[in-house]
Amino acid sequence: MKHFWVFLSLTILLLTNSFAQKPDKLTSAELFHDIQKLNFLGTALYVAAHPDDENTSLISYLDNHEKARTVYLSMTRGDGGQNLIGSELAELLGVLRTQELLAARHLDGGEQRFTRAIDFGFSKHPKETLKIWDKDKVLADVVWAIRNIKPDVIINRFDHRTPGSTHGHHTSSAILSMEAFDLANDPDVYSEQLQWTTPWQPKRIFYNTSWWQYGSQEAFEKVDKSGMVRLDVGTYYPELGLSNNEIAAMARSQHLCQGFGRLTDRGTDNEYIELLKGDMPKENDVFEGINTTWSRVKGGEAVGNILYKVEENFDFQNPSKHIPELVKAYQQLQKVEDEHWRTLKSEELKNIILASAGLYLEASSASASATPGSKVTINIETINRSSSNITLNEIEIVGTDAHLSPNKILGNNQKENFEISFTVPENTSYTSPYWLNESGTLGTYTVNDQSLIGKPETPSAFVAVFTLVIDGVDIPFEKSVVHRYSRPDRGELYEPFAILPEVTSKIDEKVLIFASADTKEIQVKVRAGKNGVSGTVELDHPAEWTVSPQNIPFSIAQKGEEISVTFKVTPPDTESEGKIEPKITMGNKVYDKELVEIDYDHIPKQSVLLPSEAKVVRMDIKKSGEHIAYIMGAGDMVPENLEQIGYQVHIVDPNDVQNGDLDKYDAVVVGIRAYNVVEALKFKQPVLFDYVKNGGTMIVQYNTAGRWASQFENIAPYDVTLSRDRVTDENAEVKILAPNHSLMNFPNAITKKDFDGWVQERGLYFPSEWSSEFTPILSMKDEGETEKQGSLIVAPYGEGHYIYTGLSFFRELPVGVSGAYKLFANMLSVGKDQVKRDSNVKG
Ligand SMILES: [Zn+2]
């Protein structure tokens, strides 16, 4: 059981210290809030699927009004989806969103947990979701969360009874929560977990319903609410000077990469939760009838007797007055047998003791990172800003031999500084998100250490333990070692102190397309993690590819400095794909990681180590035409991707386009969601259609049905009705409806094989109806649905061609799917075979 204690106390430590690594400095009012929370022994668990699903109003209400420990369990880290503030996608987006959730929880007072499930993209039905997630593993993680957190009440964001009405991840989160509610207390279920935790039965489970479930506010007003609890989440907290919904809006606004920055709300606001299992509370209080006092714990009454008095007589002007009582309560609490409450409440109480005495403890490094085997100096700062009787006995850095025994009385407002040095043990793990250390499946991350599962982030590399004697009692206080520095334009800053490799490498372009057998020069960047590194770089490659030279020697003087080396890479004559992987040899060690840093103002800086690699694809692709005009929409990489296969892509601003300007281009391509986001297109459709009429090719990629419909007469020169039809199974069979059409034949012959290896989905927002001028080229469907024929439709118009496609080229091209490239090249060449035939006839 010792292992479990360490695991739990580190978890709490992380939650109190992680936010931007900046130490919390509590006012008396905040300290009083923490004492009220200390005296409330009730826990709520909120369950949903993604970062941004959580109802921050309810989480803040449960924390600030009820004073309950409140945890948000998000099935995923939000790895799928778009990023509005930077270039991080997929697993890196998951890292960013994890930190945004922690930033949100820091404001609304909740804690954050996850399962191993991956946000793999949209799914229509929980059946599909649970197949890809590996239901057994994710259910195990929900049971694990319930057993560790021991919630009295669970609140689901989504309805488990309405599969198919929302994202499959959403319904799945509710289904798993309902099942786990029934399983967590059964010792025969996931019994291997019981070496670290104990079974647990929550008392109630609710569904956080909303008017949108009923279509309108008016319809919801008429609904019978006898099975629901009503909570006024607009309540005002005078001690904080904030309404609950103001706090909720600030928390929600942390989801910046999803564009959730928003205005605050004030005033009464009712939230309804519908009871699913357990007994109905008699009042509008989710904890009604549940003992949430110290008497719920054996031996807790003695602790409560002291702490309730502190709460009652709290001295806002001199909280240190309470130190003797708080220390007595701490001593009593150590006698409590119940490990769960003892651990949890000891951490809370220790933070209250620190804040009450104005005690400041910090362990910081002047450098941001170190490598295994290197020497590190940590600056220790301690100060007691009260007249309490406090002695600093010992300081140690966990996992090292670093140890000081100052045995010094900390006088009122007398700063004490120390230096402590140690060598980073050779076996210290690198600082990187733990869930990315092993390669996972499409649906779940691989995490081999059970104690890490569920944790929001990787534990700090090093923790300093300060042993203080307060009023004669030894109390250990843990603080993560941080990097503290200042910048003239930003003031004092904190970052996690990271352990990183001595050298890392990187190829900037993650997918390299070879459209011919020509050799390309590939740059590998090498970055030093410490001063004075030297060695050689090699490039591992598939057998049929050639790389020269075999290896390149390098040396770098300064830590943080980056140099480039260049290899010549030659593909085989025939189609082939694989990986090239830089390997750096220094002495007898080989380094093969890329370091990615994620650095934004609203989150602590993240260091992520990924395998250093790039995908290389030799595709036998033919193209006709050279110059492409591209009108950007919501943002995609298609222009860069087309350049990789030899097109010259010109980004065109529709504001500047006049009749005739486009005639010099072989095709005009409109980026994803352009008609949803580019105002000017409203006025430029006639110019674009004229270009087609005069012999041009216009390709429009997916747009959502909602916004453009109200603004545009039509998106095409003929009638087209966009719909919400999508095919989310990336392996769905594709039937070729028009095998003789030039799109399937020129210049590349397209076969079913070209639809192998697609990622995430086939496509989205397909037209459901179109006029007879259009030819549908392909047909596909998700399991259990009807065939959808609108993924790629083409019509001649005047001398030219108009194409509308909802196929997800914006996802397929960046990852080097060769069939998608060939099909795109054919779209750009549509009608060109006709011209050729005509000119042949003439010649
Ligand atoms: Zn969601």
Nearest residue to 828 (alpha-carbon basis) of 765, 704, 716, 742: 742
Q: For residue 169, how far is its CA from the centre of ligand 1 (angstroms)?
A: 7
Pairing type for strands 546-548 and 562-570 reads antiparallel
Q: For residue 53, how far is its CA from the centre of ligand 1 (angstroms)?
A: 5
Q: Mean pLDDT across the chain, nearest whole number?
A: 93
Q: For residue 158, how far is its CA from the centre of ligand 1 (angstroms)?
A: 10
Mean pLDDT of 266-292: 96
Could you read off the pLDDT of 496-511 as tens digits, one per residue?
999 999 999 999 999 9
Q: For residue 379, how far is its CA from the centre of ligand 1 (angstroms)?
A: 43
User: Quick one: tokens of 26?
Assistant: 């509590």
Could you read off the pLDDT of 450-495 as tens digits, one per residue?
999 999 999 999 999 999 999 999 999 999 999 999 999 989 999 9
Q: Band of the pLDDT at 708, cuts 50, 70, 90? A: low
Q: Band of the pLDDT at 701, cuts 50, 70, 90? A: very high
Cα 229 to Cα 155: distance, rounded to the nearest angstrom = 11
Lookup result for tokens 């309950």: 68
User: Quick one: tokens of 579?
Assistant: 């990986």
* Cβ–Cβ under 8 Å, residues 445 and 420: no
Cα 67 to Cα 446: distance, rounded to the nearest angstrom = 35
Could you read off the pLDDT of 503-535 as tens digits, one per residue?
999 999 999 999 999 999 999 999 999 999 999
* Cβ–Cβ under 8 Å, residues 787 and 765: no
Predicted local distance difference test score (pLDDT) of residue 712: 59
24 has a pLDDT exceeding 90 = no
Cα 7 to Cα 644: distance, rounded to the nearest angstrom = 49
Q: For residue 248, how far is its CA from the centre of ligand 1 (angstroms)?
A: 17
6 has a pLDDT exceeding 60 = no
Q: Band of the pLDDT at 207, cuts 50, 70, 90? A: very high
Q: Band of the pLDDT at 834, cuts 50, 70, 90? A: low
Could you read off the pLDDT of 547-588 as tens digits, one per residue?
999 999 999 999 999 999 999 999 999 999 999 999 999 999
Residues near ion ligand 1 (CB < 5 Å) are 50, 53
Cα 304 to Cα 320: distance, rounded to the nearest angstrom = 19
Q: For residue 170, how far is its CA from the centre of ligand 1 (angstroms)?
A: 6
Q: For residue 732, how far is its CA from the centre of ligand 1 (angstroms)?
A: 24
Contacts of 602 (CB under 8 A, 6+ apart): 100, 103, 254, 256
Q: For residue 716, how far is its CA from the centre of ligand 1 (angstroms)?
A: 32
Predicted local distance difference test score (pLDDT) of residue 258: 84
Q: For residue 710, how far is its CA from the centre of ligand 1 (angstroms)?
A: 26
Q: Which residue has the higher pLDDT, 754 or 263?
A: 754
Question: In percent, how much of the chain has pLDDT > 90?
Answer: 89
* Cβ–Cβ under 8 Å, residues 243 and 267: yes
Contacts of 344 (CB under 8 A, 6+ apart): 8, 12, 69
Pairing type for strands 546-548 and 551-556 reads unpaired
Length of the chain: 843
Q: For residue 78, how far is its CA from the centre of ligand 1 (angstroms)?
A: 8
Q: For residue 256, how far is its CA from the centre of ligand 1 (angstroms)?
A: 15
Q: For residue 62, how far is its CA from the centre of ligand 1 (angstroms)?
A: 21
Q: For residue 173, how far is its CA from the centre of ligand 1 (angstroms)?
A: 10
Q: For residue 250, how far is its CA from the centre of ligand 1 (angstroms)?
A: 19
For the chain, what is the total number of helices (H) and then of strands (E)? Answer: 19, 44
Cα 545 to Cα 393: distance, rounded to the nearest angstrom = 63
Q: For residue 706, how far is its CA from the centre of ligand 1 (angstroms)?
A: 19
Could you read off the pLDDT of 419-431 as tens digits, one per residue?
999 999 999 999 9
Cα 149 to Cα 45: distance, rounded to the nearest angstrom = 8
Nearest residue to 289 (alpha-carbon basis) of 110, 153, 147: 153
Q: For residue 76, how far is its CA from the centre of ligand 1 (angstroms)?
A: 9
Angle between helices 135-149 and 126-133 (to 10 degrees): 80
Q: For residue 124, how far is its CA from the centre of ligand 1 (angstroms)?
A: 12
Q: For residue 52, how far is its CA from the centre of ligand 1 (angstroms)?
A: 7
Q: For residue 55, how far is its CA from the centre of ligand 1 (angstroms)?
A: 11
Q: For residue 83, how far is its CA from the centre of ligand 1 (angstroms)?
A: 15
Q: Band of the pLDDT at 59, cuts 50, 70, 90? A: very high
* Cβ–Cβ under 8 Å, residues 567 and 524: yes
Mean pLDDT of 358-386: 97
Q: For residue 20, how far is its CA from the centre of ligand 1 (angstroms)?
A: 25
Q: Which residue has the higher pLDDT, 705 or 356?
A: 356
Q: For residue 107, how far is its CA from the centre of ligand 1 (angstroms)?
A: 21
